[in-house]
Amino acid sequence: MWIIWALLAAVSAALVIVLTKAGLKNVDSSLAFAIQAILILIITWSVVTYQGNAFAWKNIDKNSWIFLLSAGVCTALSTLFSYKALSIGKASYVVTIERTSLVIAITLSVLFLKEKITWQLIVGAGAMVAGAVLIALSENSE
């Protein structure tokens, strides 16, 4: 079942890139994210409330708070950086370089979460890096 959610996340992420690029024509990238962040806040808290988990935050342990708040800061920074890049570069190039985060996430997962490394993981990550380099160095990049 996780693969369905992962595919939905991929489609949603792709739509975010395209819609954001289209919306950034005459809007500051930080302001654009701030506007979208309001919607993110409303939608996510609506889902949490609908699921009956609105007060479950009281049961979160200290370490989880540290990790979740740190991830929140990283999410905000990542999105701000991505929107800035989108405001000045082509979406297809920006997203290609930005998604090398997949290789970084794989590396960090192996190092810190002790996930198993396989030859398929190595080859796949190598292909991602090679593709990103190929696109970034192409003649049409900005």
d(CA 24, CA 8) in angstroms, rounded, equals 24
The separation between CA 16 and the C-alpha centre of its own chain, rounded to angstroms, equals 10
pLDDT 10s digits, 53-76: 999 999 999 999 999 999 999 999
pTM value? 0.84
Domain positions in the chain are 1-88, 90-142
Lowest mean per-residue pLDDT among 29-33, 96-100, 120-124: 96-100
124 to 59, 60, 105, 131: CA distances (angstroms): 38, 35, 13, 11
Q: Is 52 helix (H, G, I), strand (E, B) or coil?
A: coil
pLDDT at 141 over 90: no
Distance separating alpha carbons of residues 116 and 56, to the nearest angstrom: 32
Q: Are 131 and 97 in contact (CB under 8 A)?
A: no
